Amino acid sequence: MSMSVGQSGGDTKSLCEINTTPLIDVMLVLLVTLILSLPVQTHAVKLDMPPPPANPPPPPPVKPEIIDLEVDFDGTVAWNGHVMTLPELERTFRPEAAKDPQPEIHFRPDRRARYEVVAKVLAIAQRNRMTKIGFVNTAEFAND
Q: Whole-model pTM above 0.75?
A: no
Cα angle 10-16-21, degrees, rounded to a multiple of 5: 150
Question: Are 93 and 128 spatial neighbours (Cβ–Cβ below 8 Å)?
Answer: yes
Instruction: Name the band, by pLDDT with cuts 50, 70 and 90, for residue 82.
Output: very high
State the chain's maximal CA–CA distance in angstroms: 119
Is the sign of the CA dihedral 23, 24, 30, 34 positive or negative?
positive
pLDDT in tens, 51-73: 877 887 888 888 889 999 999 99
How many percent of the chain have pLDDT more than 90? Answer: 43
Torsion on CA atoms 97, 98, 99, 100, rounded to nearest 10: 110
Q: What integer best gives the mean pLDDT of the chain? A: 83
Instruction: Kindly state the DSSP code that residue 99 receives in the 8-state scheme.
Output: S
Instruction: Name the band, by pLDDT with cuts 50, 70 and 90, for residue 104.
Output: very high
Does the structure show a pLDDT above 60 at 97? yes
Domain boundaries, the chain: 66-141
What fold does the segment set 66-141 form as a domain?
Nucleotidyltransferase; domain 5 (3.30.420)
More confident residue, 144 or 84: 84
The SS3 of residue 13 is strand
More confident residue, 111 or 5: 111
pLDDT at res. 9: 55
CA dist., res. 109 & res. 44, Å (int): 58
